[in-house]
Chains A and B, each alone.
Chain A
Amino acid sequence: MELVKDVPCPFCGTLCDDIIVKVEDNEIIGTINACRIGHSKFMDHKSATRYTKPLIRKNGSLVEVDMDEAIDKTAEILANSKRPLLFGWSSTECEAMGIGVNLAEELKGVIDNTATVCHGPSLLAVQDTGYPVSTLGEVKNRADVVIYWGCNPFHAHPRHIGRHVFSRGFFRNRGRSDRTVIVVDPRKSDTAKLADIHLQVDSGRDYELLDALRSVMNGHEIPYETVAGIPRDTIYQAVDILGKAQFGILFFGMGITMTAGKNRNIDAGICTIQELNQFAKYTLIPMRGHYNVNGFNQVCTWQTGYPFCVDFATGYPRYNPGESGSNDLLQNKEADSMMVVGSDPGAHFPQKALERMAEIPVIAIEPHRTPTTELADIIIPPAFVGVETEGTAYRMDSIPIRMKKLVETDLLSDKEIMEKILERTKEFIASK
């Protein structure tokens, strides 16, 4: 048995890079340090529902075909579309994403990632107001006030609190006892149970609370007795605690990005952090979900200037979430073909979007059987990044980490599949 050390985990945006994986005879037989979800990612990569051969739906049922036929058919569908949508990307390597962006440009299509239904509003707010960020290492070593707003890392990012709040840091050598943890959440979540202060905001009224916090910081008196379910005096006390920090950090998640106000909640949140910097050092980090969802936003921004929802229809990149987002294109019935890479919209998109996916040709580059592959006309199974192939991923704080290859496989990587599709698509377009 071989113990492979310092392995990054291909599950969540915390991208823990201290996993030890036990490998024997080209099989993973166990892990050390991983959370239960991360552990099952390593152990179940070869589950019973794993695809090993390309499939094409013929007369209603999926039929095994060779790779050339699957690539050929994929390129033909995409090249003949007026508004092809390339979606997903968050559970694959940056190198495949880069080729995906090239493919979108070649096709004059739209490329988008899962941020569209998760931290997309954060990306919009960042453009409006800025991005005062730090790394997770700085949080561990310096933060004495930690705010978790609208997120429940206890379950969604299981090792996040252990690695960055409970752990001892250079300036916080007692770990958890050196930090004040504030949780803002309408629910008494398991994360809230660990907090020193739980601001139980009314559901969907985060914007009002942020407005109140910022106003108080600017010397304004709150005219109402309660704001968003929080008593006025508690808000004054909260500002007092926030202002006395040495290094504060705001972690925020879906509970604020996807509730009423969306990007405006984050806009107000970022401005709150900027204004807190008049009292103390404050930064923020979005709690990114997929392990490489941030990677797509990085790749897409450096190649096109925009982080997601990029529309190449005119030959140059255009961007407007609300028009060029995956759900906009599907629900408005604009998209006439769709390729899904490294994600599962079939499980997460609204019904109306799925209805459109059922009407148009869908190509899934996907290792496992998922609700998306049930809707797919072509399935191409790739090697599993971080287990069977290496590649680059970006952690939630935008630190790039190299994913490791642990076992051998005959399958092509997402990058190799994308290269083949791009090459064949160019030939189709040239022959038109």
Chain B
Amino acid sequence: MNEIILTPKEQPSVPLELLNVNPDTVAGKSIDEIRQIKIAHGNTEVELSEFFNVKGESSENPSEIRIVIDGDVYNTKRIGYGMQSGEILVKGNASMYVGTEMKGGKIVVEGNVGSWAGRDMEGGELIIMGNAGDYVGSAYRGDWRGMSGGKITVHGNAGNEIGEYMLGGKIEVKGNATTLAGIHMNGGVLVIHGDATTRVGGEMMNGTIIVKGRIDEFLPGFKYHGIEKNIEIDGEVIDSSFYKFEGDFAVKGCGGIVYANASKNGHIVP
């Protein structure tokens, strides 16, 4: 694996956009050429080297490239946009749209990320060690087709409307999620290890949501199907007792499933 190391100089108050800095777009370029890649800074374009020191070694083959952002890029958006192969490692926080429209490869962010991480993701793996904002694995505004493949893991907490219009793939949140998790979900698997407050699976048509923590209040549009033990999802057995719900009957033809941990959710059983 050849590493290209981008060390941030400073984060300006008007955000940067690394729309075209991923292993696929830098493959075959020399380090000097990478320094000259144009990135967006507000309504202007600047060279990458204006805000990042660039060193390391590139490769002809994008799957052999790992881009390491060696520092905090809390005001840099669209890291790994449309990425197809290779790896990106961010050793700090990142702003909105990490891994948006990602098709392959792997992104690891050691800190927190802003909203729309993994929006419209089709494949690959996105790992966030800290917290994520709203709309993890969601759809573009107005679209009814969200994340369709790949895997997103958030080790911290996630915000509102995660998995919005999700079609496929898997999202795993190790911490808590706030309201409207799995809203309009049409497929795929959403696992929340912590609590999920309210409106879990609102208007969901299909797919599976597993909440291992507490759901404060459940929607009236779901039908209760009793207790299920040791459920199997994607070939993995989850060793616990769950209340099984089907819905959301607010939507015609629905067949979504929500499993809520039986030891914490007695209050939502009718």
Query: Are A and B part of the same complex?
Result: yes
Which A residues lie at the B interface, using CB under 8 A?
81-84, 107-109, 124, 127-128, 207-208, 210-212, 214-215, 218-220, 222-224, 227, 260-261, 264, 267-268, 271, 275, 312-314, 319-323, 332-334, 336
A336 near B219: Cβ-Cβ < 8 Å: no
B270 near A107: Cβ-Cβ < 8 Å: no
Contacts of A314 in B (CB 8 A): 40
Given the known A-B contacts A211-B250, A224-B270, A321-B141, are A83 and B220 also in contact in the complex, defined by CB atoms under 8 Å?
A: no
CA A428 to CA B179, docked complex, whole Å: 47
B183 near A264: Cβ-Cβ < 8 Å: yes
Taking the closest CB of chain B, its distance from the CB of A338, in whole angstroms, is 13
CA A109 to CA B142, docked complex, whole Å: 22
Given the known A-B contacts A127-B142, A211-B220, A215-B221, are A108 and B15 also in contact in the complex, defined by CB atoms under 8 Å?
A: no
Q: Mark B184-197, 1 if CB is under 8 A from A, else 0.
A: 10000000000000
Contacts of A271 in B (CB 8 A): 203, 250-251
A261 near B199: Cβ-Cβ < 8 Å: yes
Given the known A-B contacts A107-B43, A127-B141, A214-B250, are A82 and B180 also in contact in the complex, defined by CB atoms under 8 Å?
A: no
A334 near B134: Cβ-Cβ < 8 Å: no
Q: Mark B97-137, 1 if CB is under 8 A from A, else 0.
A: 00000000000000000011000000000000000001100
B203 near A227: Cβ-Cβ < 8 Å: no
CA A268 to CA B44, docked complex, whole Å: 40
Report whether over half of chain A's contact residues are helix, strand or loop; otherwise say mixed. Answer: loop
B222 at the A interface (CB under 8 A): yes
CA A108 to CA B42, docked complex, whole Å: 9
Contacts of B135 in A (CB 8 A): 322
Contacts of B44 in A (CB 8 A): 82
Given the known A-B contacts A207-B199, A218-B250, A223-B223, are A83 and B14 also in contact in the complex, defined by CB atoms under 8 Å?
A: yes
Taking the closest CB of chain B, its distance from the CB of A227, in whole angstroms, is 5
CA A207 to CA B220, docked complex, whole Å: 10
A128 near B115: Cβ-Cβ < 8 Å: no
B37-62 interface (Cβ within 8 A of A): 40-44
A223 near B220: Cβ-Cβ < 8 Å: yes
9 A-B pairs besides A222-B220, A260-B179, A261-B180 with CB distance below 8 A are A109-B43, A127-B141, A208-B198, A212-B221, A215-B249, A223-B224, A224-B270, A271-B203, A313-B43
Point out which of A210, A219, A223 has the most chain B C-beta atoms below 10 A from its C-beta.
A223
4 shortest A-B CB distances, which residue pairs? A82-B42, A108-B43, A127-B142, A223-B270
Task: Out of A81, A222, A264, name the residue touching B202 (CB < 8 Å).
Answer: A264
Which residue of B is nearest A359, CB measured?
B13
Which residue of B is nearest A309, CB measured?
B141
Task: Out of A210, A212, A264, name the residue touching B161 (CB < 8 Å).
Answer: A264
